[in-house]
Amino acid sequence: MIAKNGPFRRVRIQADQRREEFFDVATRIFKEKGYRAATVQDIVDEMGITKGAFYHYFASKEDLLTEIYDRAGTQFYDMMMRITQENLSVAEKLRALVVAHVKLMVDERMVFTVFFKEKLELPEERQRQIKEKEEAYFRLVKDLAQQAVNEGLLASVDPRLIALNIIGACNWVTQWYDPEGPLSPDEIGGRFFEIITCRTGGSVESRRKGMPDHR
């Protein structure tokens, strides 16, 4: 059975690798030229293949854009679920979320640059689905912020503003991060967390309550 399945498995792996190549090339071209200006011809020229090969894997350029959003949404969801299910204090969860968010923006910088820029190019139904996922993530961050306020880790500030601050700062990393810079993604996330907790006030003692020592 293994021997019989061997060739089919190799074909499947090769197909997955080719699909991944399409994804990487298209993402870069969408980022550089913009989705509307980019063409299927641009993609196949970059890969040195024919349009026929492209249409073997994707029905249209829109299908590729949709896959970018599907992958980005899945990565956000997986990150969110992993952190919420961990046995951590509120402060630790909030810090872990900020660090993980920054790291995801850096690791998948090209994907999320397209994600934030080209959303309106998706069909309305797909835009609605993306919005639902974004709202779910916003609620998670807002709820964590509210818990932090309740525990005295943050001053009594509208948790929606705290959530917007966190998400906006983390998302914007895609625009300015320099891999040659002095701070790693983990360090940037940690600094963001420190800034957020200091800006929202409260005594030093209350802000440290329940926080891990990362010195």
CATH number of residue 39's parent domain: 1.10.10.60
Are 64 and 51 contained in the same domain? no
In terms of domains, do 52 and 96 share one?
no
Residues 74, 178 share a domain: yes
| 160-193 confidence digits (pLDDT tens) | 999 999 999 999 999 999 999 999 999 999 999 9
Domain identity same for 77 and 126: yes
Same-domain check for residues 128 and 203: yes
Q: Are residues 161 and 191 in the same domain?
A: yes
Q: Which domain holds residue 101?
A: 60-208
Q: Give the pLDDT confidence of 38-88 residue by residue, as tens digits.
A: 999 999 999 999 999 999 999 999 999 999 998 898 888 888 889 988 899
**Statement: residue 96 has pLDDT above 70:** yes
Residue 77 is assigned to a structural domain of this protein = yes
Q: Are residues 103 and 130 in the same domain?
A: yes
Number of domain units in the chain: 2
pTM of the model as a whole? 0.81
- Percent of residues, the chain, with pLDDT higher than 90: 62
Per the domain annotation, does 215 fall within a domain? Answer: no
- Predicted local confidence at residue 19, as pLDDT: 87
**What one-character-per-residue DSSP string does 33-78 give?**
H-TTT--HHHHHHHHT--HHHHHHH-SSHHHHHHHHHHHHHHHHHH
- Is the Cβ–Cβ distance between 48 and 94 less than 8 Å? no
100 and 159 in a single domain? The answer is yes
**Is 180 part of a structural domain of the chain?**
yes
List of residues 6+ apart from 196 with CB closer than 8 A: 98, 154, 162, 165, 166, 169
